[in-house]
Amino acid sequence: MTAPKKLFIKTYGCQMNVYDSERMAEALGGQGYVETATPDDADMILLNTCHIREKAAEKVYSELGRFRGLKAERPDLKIGVAGCVAQAEGAEIMRRQPLVDLVVGPQSYHRLPELEAKARSGEKALDTDFPEEDKFEHLKSRPKSKRGPTAFLTVQEGCDKFCAFCVVPYTRGAEVSRPVGRILDEARELVERGVREITLLGQNVNGYHGTGPDGADWSLARLIWALDGIDGLERIRFTTSHPNDMSDDLIEAHGTCAKLMPYLHLPVQSGSDRILKRMNRKHTAEGYLRLIERIRGARPDILMSGDFIVGFPEETEEDFQATLDIVEAVNYGYAYSFKYSTRPGTPAAERSQVDPDVASERLQRLQALITRQQRAVQDTMVGRELDVLIEKPGRKPGQMVGKTGYLHAVHIADCTAAQGETVRARITESGTNSLFGELCRD
């Protein structure tokens, strides 16, 4: 028997990329690859790149440059670039960096075995097509090994919203939803393998409209209700959503579906209507706040999470103040804030840019507010009794770590429960980034 070949995957960016990296490892598993934690002994290195912020392509070039020594020592080493940078600039990367043997865009991962064989034979292999037929071909065929208690499941890819700052509609293409039957099959299989919590993924997940077994178009809420019927599945989450696609049935599900966790990531990006309009968001700050009121009407304890961009072209101090105001008004449990970064090819790239020092200073102010707010929300958990899904052992002996429905990590001392079990815990303390608790023994 030949020794297995070693595969090193470095993943950048969002949860969709984490999910895709798992699928790539599985696809190459069929070619005799096993994953390794370091590039040093790898036979194949794959960079699963992200294009959403920062100087993504430059980062890829500098990372690739670091592999020059390894490739000189071992000419058989194959180096590949996957993900959104591959999609957007793959051919250019291959021209500019001769170390690269393989380029594969997010819609073509199911072709990795062929591409790998081509690269092995000494040819350059590139595939960045948008297939018309079955966009989810690359998500098929998962091996049946045991898994941890939480998993991602892609239900939708691409985005039609065209926010003026965002590359996703260009790199991931138009919105496509996976048929309901396949999602339910995959969910059942995950549960058989030990998964208790599934996070449904999509770039615009609440825009989901997949074909149901009845041939009708199913909404995300309807899909969630079907998943709710799977025995052994305890928790359902979904991310990322657009405010304009928060349909009535989805809001209602937050109030009535016990498996749907009280957590919602609903980015607004800015609190200024002037900037929202320039961002092509097609909603106002007031409309967003009213929407949250309705969601909280259905599920009063829901924990809101969001994304913000500061320093978007033409943002004034007054616009930025409106962003601070909307953060105050919502009271987020989690929020992620980014300095605007120019993405070539997007409409906002052509506009007059904010001074980078001004943008950095605004980012600091926003992050200080968010940090205070996150901590205050986390502190309100102290004294409560909450269900915690145990994920792994903690650092201290006897300690286990799990998550509440609100997605806070809890360290539980003297915890007899195993990974994958849900326990009732009393929260005793709120730390910098996590909670501490003890088992409720009634």
Binding-site residues from annotation for [4Fe-4S] cluster: 14, 50, 84, 159, 163, 166
Which does residue 64 bind out of ligand SF4, ligand 5AD, none, counting CB within 5 to 8 angstroms by kind?
A: none
Question: What are the phi and psi torsion angles at 123 (to 5°)?
Answer: -90, 160
d(CA 410, CA 422): 12
CB of 426 to ligand 5AD, least distance (A): 35
Residues 108-147 as x/- pattern, contact with ligand SF4 by CB under 6 A: ----------------------------------------
Residue 88 or 166 with smaller CB distance to ligand SF4: 166
- From residue 56, alpha-carbon distances to 89, 167, 212, 337, 341 in Å are 10, 12, 38, 18, 10
Q: Which of residues 107 and 404 has its CB atom nearest to ligand SF4 in the complex?
A: 107
The footprint of ligand SF4 on residues 331-390 (CB under 6 A) is none
Asked if 261 contacts 405 with a C-beta cutoff of 8 angstroms, the reply is: yes
Based on its alpha-carbon atoms, the radius of gyration of the chain, rounded to whole angstroms, reads 23
Which residues is 339 bridged to in the sheet?
Answer: 310
Q: In Å, how far are 99, 107, 170, 430 from 93, measured between CA atoms?
A: 10, 18, 18, 47
User: Residue count at the site for ligand SF4 (CB under 6 A)?
Assistant: 10
For residue 220, which of 196, 202, 195 has the smallest C-alpha distance? 202
Instruction: Please report how close the Cβ of residue 205 comes to ligand SF4 at its closest, in angstroms.
Output: 10
Indicate which single residue of 24, 50, 125, 166 sits in contact with ligand SF4 (rule: CB under 6 A). Answer: 166
126: amino acid identity, one letter: L
Continuous H helices in 146-214:
168-171, 180-192
* Residue 154 binds ligand SF4, judged by CB under 6 A: no
- Return the number of other C-beta atoms located less than 10 Å from residue 210's C-beta: 20
Instruction: Compare residues 21 and 404 and give the one whose CB is closer to ligand 5AD.
Output: 21
**E strand or H helix that includes residue 34:** strand 33-35
Rule CB under 6 A: choose which of 44, 88, 119, 163 binds ligand SF4. 163
Do 32 and 5 contact (CB within 8 A), yes or no? yes
| Minimum CB–partner distance for residue 7 and ligand SF4 (Å) | 29
Q: Which does 436 bind (CB under 5 to 8 A by kind): ligand SF4, ligand 5AD, none?
A: none
Binding region for ligand 5AD (CB under 6 A) = 52-53, 165-166, 267, 269, 307, 309, 338, 340-341, 343
Do residues 219 and 245 lie in contact, with contact meaning Cβ atoms separated by under 8 Å? no
Binding window for ligand SF4 (CB under 6 A); candidates: 35-43, 70-78, 144-152, 162-170: 162-170
Helix 56-65 vs helix 83-96: crossing angle, to nearest 10: 60
- DSSP secondary structure string, 338-354? EE----TTSGGGGSPPP
Minimum CB distance to ligand SF4 smaller for 112 or for 326: 326
Give a three-class secondary structure readout of 53-119. CCCHHHHHHHHHHCCHHHHHHCCCCEEEEEHHHHHHHHHHHHHHCCCCCEEECCCCHHHHHHHHHHH
Residues 223-252 interacting with ligand SF4 (rule: CB under 6 A): 242
Q: Select the binding partner of residue 242 from ligand SF4, ligand 5AD, none (C-beta < 5 to 8 A, by kind).
A: ligand SF4
> Taking the complex as a whole, how short is the minimal distance between the CB of residue 164 and ligand 5AD, in angstroms?
9
Residue 53 interacts with ligand SF4 (CB under 6 A): yes or no: no
Identified binder of ligand SF4 from the candidate list 161, 209, 351, 426, rule CB under 6 A? 161
Dihedral angle of Cα 425, 429, 434, 440, to the nearest 10 degrees = -10
Tokens of 139: 């998500």
* Least separation in angstroms between CB 204 and ligand 5AD: 11
CB of 203 to ligand SF4, least distance (A): 4
Q: Tell me whether residue 44 or residue 50 sits nearer to ligand 5AD (CB atom).
A: 50
User: 3-class secondary structure for 365-418?
Assistant: HHHHHHHHHHHHHHHCCCCCEEEEEEEEECCCCCCEEEECCCCCEEEECCCCCC
Q: How far is the CB of 306 from ligand 5AD (least distance, A)?
A: 8
Which residues line the annotated binding site? 14, 50, 84, 159, 163, 166
* 204 near ligand SF4, rule: CB under 6 A: yes
Contact 138, 27 (CB under 8 A): yes
Q: 388 contacts which partner out of ligand 5AD, ligand SF4, none, CB within 5 to 8 A by kind?
A: none
x/- mask, ligand SF4, residues 167-196, rule CB under 6 A, reads: -xx---------------------------
Using rule CB under 6 A, residue 159 touches ligand SF4: yes
Backbone angles phi, psi at 327, to 5 degrees: -65, -45
- At its nearest, how many Å lie between ligand SF4 and the CB of residue 415? 38
- Output the smallest distance, CB 269 to ligand 5AD, in A: 6
Q: Which of residues 256-315 bind ligand SF4 (CB under 6 A)?
A: none
Q: Which amino acid makes up residue 177?
A: S
Sites of contact with ligand SF4 (CB under 6 A): 159, 161-163, 166, 168-169, 203-204, 242
